[in-house]
Chain A
Amino acid sequence: MKLVYFAWVRERVGKAEEELVPPPQIKTVAELVSWLKGRGEEYAHAFEQHKSIRAAIDRSHVKPDAAIAGAREIAFFPPMTGG
């Protein structure tokens, strides 16, 4: 699946997007975040305030318990500050 990052999540991870295949036991957005945090210091830093990071699956907002099965694109970003 494609992961995309925005704002300071993007800066901390060090890339705007990447293709990753999480192991099959990773079922939810929260589990995906935990798995990502174990991938390296940049991810651990990006997701250390994981409670304030928002997620979207295929361009719709989702909660941490959302299932990731079938997702094409999962995005992680800080709370929004547009308008």
Chain B
Amino acid sequence: MPTRISLQREDFDVAAEAAALARGRTDIGALVTFTGICRGAEAGAPIAALTLEHYPGMAEAEIARHVEEANARWPLLGVTVIHRYGRIAPGENIVLVLTASSHREAAFAAAEFLMDYLKTRAPFWKQVESASGKTWIEAKDVDETAASRWHKPAGREAAE
């Protein structure tokens, strides 16, 4: 399966990435595009920017592991994951997940699966810059809950 994983400081072009994934293909019937964007407010207070720190090496490896897992679960025909790091202003892109399949169910499910895991397992940390200084964003239980719904059937889970 064609896979593209990129960690980068620079912005990405969603349309160009989608076109690149589908170019020359006639087997793809569904392409899901998810873009995570920096909000201008966090917990009701305006922010100046986010700074994303990551663990180079491990971040790529974690994303690759989850792309492989998605590919084992659903009949995917292509995946692109781009995650930015560094300083990101409100309105700018943070993360892109593209999943292609012959039908939409697999593409939608795989994109959600990848995003849920990116939020809870990929080593990235967001720091908020606002008028009151810099603070690290705390992990949300709701993200853990979202990721846990993809856990494997009871047999294997019990052994872990």
Contact = CB atoms under 8 A, between A and B. Distances in A.
B136 A82 contact: no
A7 B95 contact: no
B61 A59 contact: yes
Give chain B's interface residue range (CB within 8 Å of chain A). 20 to 34
Contacts of A4: 55
A21 interface: no
Contact of A78 (B94, B119, B125): B125
Contact of A83 (B36, B61, B136): B36
B139 A82 contact: no
Contacts, number: 72
Contact of B122 (A60, A75, A82): A82
Contact of B58 (A7, A75, A83): A75
Interface majority SS on B: helix, strand, loop or mixed? mixed
Interface of A: 4, 6-8, 56, 59-61, 75, 77-83
Interface string B111-136: 00001001111111111000000001
B30 interface: no
Contacts of B136: 7-8, 78, 81
Interface string B46-89: 00000011110111011000000000000000000001000000
B55 A81 contact: no
Please name the 10 residue pairs, one residue from A and one from B, whose CB atoms are nearest each other, closest first: A82-B124, A79-B139, A83-B119, A7-B125, A59-B58, A83-B118, A81-B137, A81-B126, A82-B122, A8-B136
B120 A80 contact: yes
Contact of B124 (A8, A56, A61, A80): A80
Contacts of A56: 55, 58, 123
A80 B53 CA distance: 10
A80 B83 contact: no
